[in-house]
Structure 1
Amino acid sequence: MLLTLTLILTLLAFVADWIHFHRQRRRGATPQRGFILWALATDALPLVSAIAGLCCHDNGPNVMIFYMWIFWGWIVTVLPRMLYYLFHFAGLRRTGLVFAGALTLFLLWGTTLGRTRIRVNRVEICSDRIPAAFDGYRFVQFSDAHVGTLVNPERELARLVDTINALHPDAVFFTGDLVTIRSAELDERAMSQLRRIESPVWSVTGNHDVGTYIRDSIAFPAADEARNVVEKQRAIGWRVLEDTTLYLRRGADSISLTGISFDPELRHRRHDRHLPADNLPEIYAGVPDSLYNITLVHVPQLWKPVMEAGYGDLTLSGHVHAMQFKIRPWGRGWSPAAWLYEHWSGRYDDGRHTLYINDGTGCVAYPMRLGAWPEVTLFTLKRCE
């Protein structure tokens, strides 16, 4: 799949350049050799990445960062050029230069402030099932930190933790993908920053946390890596919920908090619109359905099975990142993620059930966020009669 996409992107860029150069020659203009070489070199960047991937026996953090920046180089050099060609073909050369320049600046902004400036979204959840003692209960959700592919992990995690602490929540919920490939990404510098979160933290694992993307599975067995990610979270004081439920108590009232781990068997189906959830009866066994329930699950595709099981008054997910690209002229806006996922960003309501998909704070594939800004979400529970 990835190799096919790489070849398609490379071929499309080559074809567009060939058409442009051919049109130039027909008009009597000779393209400069330097520009031709530059165009060919940037067109080939996805191919370079694919070849490098075939040559590497492992895909540790440095390799993944290399892939990300190679793809970034293709985006910021080829896409503006393609936009220029569109205007140039229509006889609007100067307009094309302006739009191509503006796109380049926008992409660079998405690589810098757009990728690092955290937005705090505030969400109020009203329900008559919320007990009186939890009226006004405030908690933060964050997700998809992807520590191993942060450009400056220590500084960016410090900014994230400072943002969370400034909100003074009663609790913090993390909904998976703390690492990108393996547990070594959680080094002492990263752990020392995450340890600074002042409120109690509950977390679940995501598809990147369970070791299934590791290429050298002999040196780094997936099960060991998944266990290490969990152990490191517990070492910094987080409480990892592995297909289990606990109860949060305030005064005489309680609500249930369920955490669903990512099932490694779903790795190749992680982008399917619907996923099986045969283990939900065991996960919710003995949990009174009369209690207000918050469920943490990395993949939002499990929201409907959770609802059908009678739980998940509020389900918190991540995973999608809105593909780190969102056009926001209205409400939720639009993202290519909508082509893959039924639910892909923000809030969804169905009767008494609410799903919220946090856009995450980290990056995969390319170190850039355009419209899908890094997000920390502050929830307030309100009892509504």
Structure 2
Amino acid sequence: MLLTLTLILTLAAFAADWIHFRRQRRRGTPARRVLIGWALATDALPLVSALVGAVSRDNSPALMTLYMWLIWAWIVTVIPRLLYYVFHFLKLRRTGVALAALLTLFLVWGTTLGRTRIRVNRVEICSDRIPAVFDGFRFVQFSDAHVGALVRPERELTRLADTINALHPDAVFFTGDLVNIRSAELDAQTMALLQRIEGPVWSVTGNHDVGTYIHDSIRFPADVEARTVVERQRAMGWCVLEDTTVYLRRGGDSISLTGISFDPALRKRRHDRHLPADNLPEIYAGVPESSYNITLVHLPQLWELVTAAGRGDLTLSGHVHSMQFKIRPWGRGWSPARWIYDRWSGRYDEGRHTLYINDGTGYVAYPMRLGAWPEVTLFTLKRCE
């Protein structure tokens, strides 16, 4: 699928350039030759990325960084140019130049402040199932850190920890994709930065945490990588919930917290609208139905199965990132993620059940966020009679 999309993007850009330059009257000038060469070189960036990946033995962190910046360069150089072509064809050349320049500035914004400035969203959850002693209980959710893809990890993870700590939550929940490709991304420096997050942290694994994206599976077996990611989180003092439930106690009462691990068997189906989860009865075994339940699960598509099991008064997920692009003039806004997922960002309510999909703080594929800003979510539980 990725290779097909790469070929489509490359061919579409080539075709647009060919049509544009063929319509020009000036032929053979030095400036024209330079422009054509520049256009062909930038059009080919996705193809270059795919070819580098095809001949590489492994997708090391350095190689993944190269991929990311090649795709970024294609976006920043080709997309504004295509916008200009549209207006040039309509004989609105100056308008096209202005809009292409504005789009370029917006893309640069998304690569700088848009990529790194964390937004804190505040959500209040009301339910008569919340024990009275948990009225006012505050916790933070963050997700999809993808630490191996961060451009400036020390600065970005410090900002993340400072943002969370400034909220003084009673608990912190992380909903998967801590690393981008492999466990080595959680080196001593990165672990120390993440340990700056104060208070108890509970987490679950996501599809990027289980080692299945590593090309050299001989040297880096997926099961070993997945186990190492979990072990290093625990070494940081985080409680990793692997298909299990714990109880958060306050006063003489409690609420249940269930964590569902990412199943490596779902790797190729991670973007499907509907997914299987045959192990839910075992995961929730022994959890009283009367207990207010918070479920952490990376994939939001599992929400329907969680609620069908009578659990997940509040389900927290990540995974989607809103595809790092969101137009938000109203409410949830719009993202191409809507073409893939039934539920893709923010809050969804059905009866007594609530799903919240956090847009994450990291990034994959390209180091940019446009509208889908990095998110930390502060929840407050309220008992409503």
The bucket for the TM-score relative to the shorter chain is over 0.9
1:151 paired to 2:151: yes
State the Cα distance separating 1:29 from its structure 2 match: 9.1
Instruction: Give the match for residue 137 of structure 1.
Output: 137
Residues 309-338 of structure 1: CA distance to partner in whole angstroms, max 9, x if unpaired?
Answer: 000000000000000000001100000000
Q: How many angstroms does 1:61 deviate by?
A: 1.1
- Quote the residue 2:302 is aligned against: 302
Structure-2 separation of matches of 1:182 and 1:198: 25
1:136-165 CA distance string (max 9 Å, x none): 000000000000000011110000000000
> Structure 2: which amino acid aligns with 1:66?
L
2:33 maps to a residue whose letter is R
CA deviations 1:206-238 (Å, max 9, x no partner) are: 000000101000000000000000000000000
Aligned to 1:176: 176
Q: How far does residue 60 in structure 1 lie from its aligned partner after superposition?
A: 1.5
After the TM superposition, which residues 121-136 of structure 1 pair with which residues of structure 2 at under 5 Å, given as runs? 121-136=121-136
* Aligned-CA RMSD value: 0.9
3-state SS of paired residue (1:32): helix
Structure 1: give runs of 5+ residues left out of the alignment: none
How do 1:307-346 and structure 2 match up within 5 A? 307-346=307-346
Give the Cα separation in 2 of the matches to 1:136 and 1:236: 28
- Equivalent residue, structure 1, for 2:259: 259
Distance 2:3 2:342 in 1: 26
Q: CA deviation at 1:197?
A: 1.0
Which residue of structure 1 lines up, in the alignment, with residue 238 of structure 2?
238
TM-score, with structure 2 as normaliser: 0.99
Deviation at 1:288, TM superposition (A): 0.2
What letter matches 2:180 in structure 1?
T
Q: Match of 2:113?
A: 113
Q: For residue 208 of structure 1, give the secondary structure of its aligned residue in structure 2.
A: helix
Q: Which amino acid aligns with 2:76?
A: V
Show the 5 A alignment for 1:72-221: 72-221=72-221
Letter in 2 for 1:360: G
Q: Secondary structure at the match of 2:365?
A: coil
State the AA in 2 paired with 1:291.
Answer: S
What CA distance in whole angstroms lies between the structure 1 residues aligned with 2:62 and 2:230?
22
Structure 2: 5+ residue runs without aligned partners?
none
Identity %: 80
Q: Distance in 1 between matches of 2:215 and 2:162?
A: 35
Matched residues in 1 for 2:230 and 2:321: separation? Answer: 22
TM-score normalized by the length of structure 1: 0.99
Distance 1:73 1:198 in 2: 37
Runs of 4+ in 1 over 3 A off after TM superposition: 27-31
Q: Tell me which residue corresponds to 1:292.
A: 292
Alpha-carbon shift at residue 264 of structure 1 (Å): 0.0
For residues 331 and 347 of structure 1, the distance between their equivalents in structure 2, rounded to whole angstroms, comes to: 10
C-alpha offsets along residues 329-370 of structure 1, whole Å, 9 cap, x if unaligned? 110000000000000000000000000000000000100000
Task: Count how many residue pairs are aligned between Structure 1 and Structure 2.
Answer: 384
Residue 28 (structure 1) shift: 7.3
